[in-house]
Each structure stands twice: as structure tokens, then as C-alpha cells.
Amino acid sequence: MSEPPGAKPVPVFNCVVHVAPAADGMILARVANLAGIEGRGGSEREALAQAVAAFKAAVSRYHTAGEPIPWVAEVRPKPGETQRLIAVHL
């Protein structure tokens, strides 16, 4: 399928998130491939929604400014974490 004339491709980025229960009973979703981004919630879905929204905002700022995105190369989960891979469209 071809794109309509003048259409710009939509950038897609991989968001690697590690999810684990927090000490306070909440769920923590830590973005592993972009430092400093986390989400917290009463459910995994809620924590992931927060983390992905923050990831999208950060990547969008870098992308719009034409700046390189400071990806983190090491993305292995810590003990007790579950890895989630999420495609994010800007």
C-alpha cells in the first residue's frame, strides 16, 4: 500500500519497559532504553500507560528538535522484573 502524495511517514520507536511490584503495593513500570522515565499505578496497565506517555513525550521532544535520542544500550530486566516491548508512534 502506498502513501498518499505529500504524506509524511509516522516515526515508530521501541519502548522497552520493565515491570515489577513496588514495595508500597503499587506497580512500577521502568523504561529501560531511555533513562529516568517511569510510571506507577495500581495495575500494570495503569503503570504502563504512564510510562509510555512519558516516553512518547520525551522522544517527541528530541525528535522535533532534531537532537539525538540518548538511548540506553543495556536493557536487561533486573530480578523480579518482566520485560514488555511496546511500539510507540509519534
The predicted-structure confidence for 3-61, as pLDDT tens digits, reads as follows: 778 788 889 999 999 999 999 999 999 999 999 999 999 999 999 999 999 999 999 99
What pLDDT score does 76 carry? Answer: 92
What total of structural domains would you count in the chain?
1
What pLDDT score does 75 carry? Answer: 85
Residue 12 corresponds to which cell in the numbers above? Answer: 515508530
Q: Which domain holds residue 82?
A: 18-89
User: Given a cut of 80, is residue 1 above it in pLDDT?
Assistant: no
Q: Are 39 and 55 in contact (CB under 8 A)?
A: no
Residue 68 corresponds to which cell in the numbers above? Answer: 539525538
What pLDDT score does 2 carry? Answer: 67
pTM for this structure?
0.89
In a domain, 54, yes or no: yes
What pLDDT score does 34 carry? Answer: 97
In a domain, 9, yes or no: no
- Determine how β-strand 27-31 pairs with β-strand 82-89: unpaired
User: Given a cut of 80, is residue 86 above it in pLDDT?
Assistant: yes
Distance of alpha carbon 83 from alpha carbon 21, whole angstroms = 13
In a domain, 59, yes or no: yes
Residue 55 corresponds to which cell in the numbers above? Answer: 516516553
Q: What are phi and psi of 64, to 5 degrees?
A: -65, -40
Q: Which residues contact 53 (CB under 8 A, 6 or more apart)?
A: 39
Q: What are phi and psi of 79, to 5 degrees?
A: -55, 135
In a domain, 4, yes or no: no
In a domain, 1, yes or no: no
In a domain, 3, yes or no: no
